[in-house]
Amino acid sequence: MSQSYLLVVTEQDKGLKGLKSLLWQMENPNSIAISNSVDEAMDRIRHRPPYLLILVDQQRLWANHLAQECCQRHHNKPTTIVGLTHHDQPTWINHDTNPVFDGFLVDPISPAVLLLLIQSAQLRQACYCL
């Protein structure tokens, strides 16, 4: 895996086909990690912070814990953290009670929005480290 990567975390791999396809079109497949367990995601984050963390089903307790862990562990290399929800079953975290999320996405996500998110997350991490 390259030095910089994006991480998608979900308990279920189903429903991510469209997102995965878009990611692989826009980004080197070697710089994309998809974790289906919290433990695997925590190991990746502890080892090296991603530039972008996409949490599917962000309403769940594990998503909040994972997002907070990423922020606390890597102050010098900020990670852009977004929650992904589905258009037919929207779930949103109250941003006032959990400000570690930088934003929320609705699946299906447009290629232009995803590309801008990837570019801004990469730039945020690169600029912060200068």
Q: Which amino acid is at 33?
A: A
CA distances to 46, 51, 76, 119, 120 from 127, rounded to whole Å, are: 21, 12, 11, 12, 10
Strands 32-35 and 6-9: parallel
Tokens of 109: 């996500």
Q: Which CATH architecture has domain 6-108?
A: 3-Layer(aba) Sandwich (3.40)
- Residue pLDDT, tens place only, 77-103: 788 999 888 777 666 666 666 677 888
The model's confidence at residue 1, banded by pLDDT at 50, 70 and 90, is very low
Query: In angstroms, rounded to a whole number, what is the distance separating the alpha carbons of residues 113 and 93?
Result: 20
* CB-CB contact of 113 with 85 (8 Å): no
Residue 8 reports pLDDT greater than 90: yes
Query: In angstroms, rounded to a whole number, what is the distance separating the alpha carbons of residues 40 and 23?
Result: 20
- Residue pLDDT, tens place only, 28-53: 888 999 998 888 999 998 888 899 99
Average pLDDT of the residues of the chain:
81
Q: What is the pTM of this model?
A: 0.86
